[in-house]
Amino acid sequence: MRNGFLILSAFFLVSCGGAGIMENVPVRVVSAEKEVSANADTSLLAQFTEVGNCLDIQIVNDTILVLMDQVSDMDNYHFKAYSTNSSEYLGSFLQYGRGPGEMISPRFASASSSERYLTIKENAAGRAFSVDVESSIRTNRTVTVEQVDLPEDVLDWFPLPDSEGFVLQLENRRLLYRKLGRDGAAVWSVSPYNGIDAVRCMPHLSSVLVLNGETGMIAEVMLFLPQVNIFDTADSTIRSVAVDKDYRQWRSLTGKMLGPETVQYYVCAAASPDFIFAAYRNAQLADLSKGSDMSIHIFDWSGRFLCDLKVSENIVAMAYDTLNSCLYAIEQTAHHIVRYNLNGLL
């Protein structure tokens, strides 16, 4: 049993930017190997008229695009499904409620598009489920193939290979990252933000976690620092990279409340077995809702900054279609779904 993460010190001695917000984890400043502009794919046929207010996006079984919809009196289904091949609307599933096969506040557990089942978590209820989307639509009931009971005080959870899990918890005013074995017991845990009052600084430490379902690696894309942290749950290591030297300003960030002038760097993220996609704005909170150009930073799982993809849309959520090399996204300004064809780019 490992008691914590081993730090890749030797790796970071080269091109190392110095100490950052994570204790004992040096940060490597990286620059994009190439910069490319991309336009939304006009060949996307679906209009997604069945979705009233799209909240999140995921791809499952390589062929099904799942959109999380805001439930209403007229439509109490959380999810709408579409074919990534034909753009055909496939149907709705998972109703709002507390009855059998229903949920109040489900969320996606980010995973690779090749996963056969959709993993959904409901933190308030302390449960996570693997859902067979096609069977659920066909039978008009929620078909679950596995259920996991989540630990107490869990903030986030992801399934790992071999029926293990990765959780983010709040304990004694600290953020703890834990790997859980098949029996639910902690295999190891680490508090990388040790010394920071996580209750007071929770907004400052906000991030998006995405999973590499094949290797069990987790990428933490920080919102208020230009920094991406990569957890290798197999060998208990952390790597950290930054795209701007502003990551060094973490002390001043955590020393004051967030306000309209606070800069948000990253907005959302997605992942595949090969890549991490992180939408980058580098704008003050007061300006985030304004339509303006942004970038999608593409990293590999070693932290290499492969590409700075310039887009004109205001992206708030993403999912990557590994089979067709297409990145789907929710565009906030016009509130519709866009797609970028990345064939030949990566």
Residue 270 phi, psi dihedral angles, 5° rounding: -150, 170
- Give the pLDDT of the chain (346 residues) as one tens digit per residue: 334 444 343 333 334 445 789 988 999 999 999 999 999 999 998 889 999 999 999 999 999 999 999 999 999 999 999 999 999 999 999 999 999 999 999 999 888 888 899 999 998 888 999 999 999 999 999 999 999 998 888 899 999 988 899 999 999 999 999 999 988 889 989 999 988 999 999 999 999 999 998 899 999 999 999 999 999 998 889 999 999 999 999 999 999 999 999 999 999 999 999 999 999 999 999 988 776 779 999 999 999 999 999 999 999 999 999 999 999 999 987 778 999 999 998 8
Q: Find out whether 80 and 97 touch, Cβ atoms under 8 Å.
A: no
Vertex 23: Cα angle to 22 and 24 (nearest 5): 115
Cβ neighbours of residue 334 closer than 8 Å, sequence gap 6 or more: none
Structure tokens at 55: 């909240």
Which residue, among 190, 229, 193, has the nearest Cα to 208 in the 3D structure? Answer: 229
Please state the φ and ψ torsions of residue 251, each to the nearest 5 degrees. Answer: -65, -45
Contacts of 119 (CB under 8 A, 6+ apart): 108, 109, 111, 128, 129, 130, 131, 159
* CA dihedral for 285, 288, 290, 295, sign (positive or negative): positive
Report the 10 Å Cβ neighbour count for 41. Answer: 14
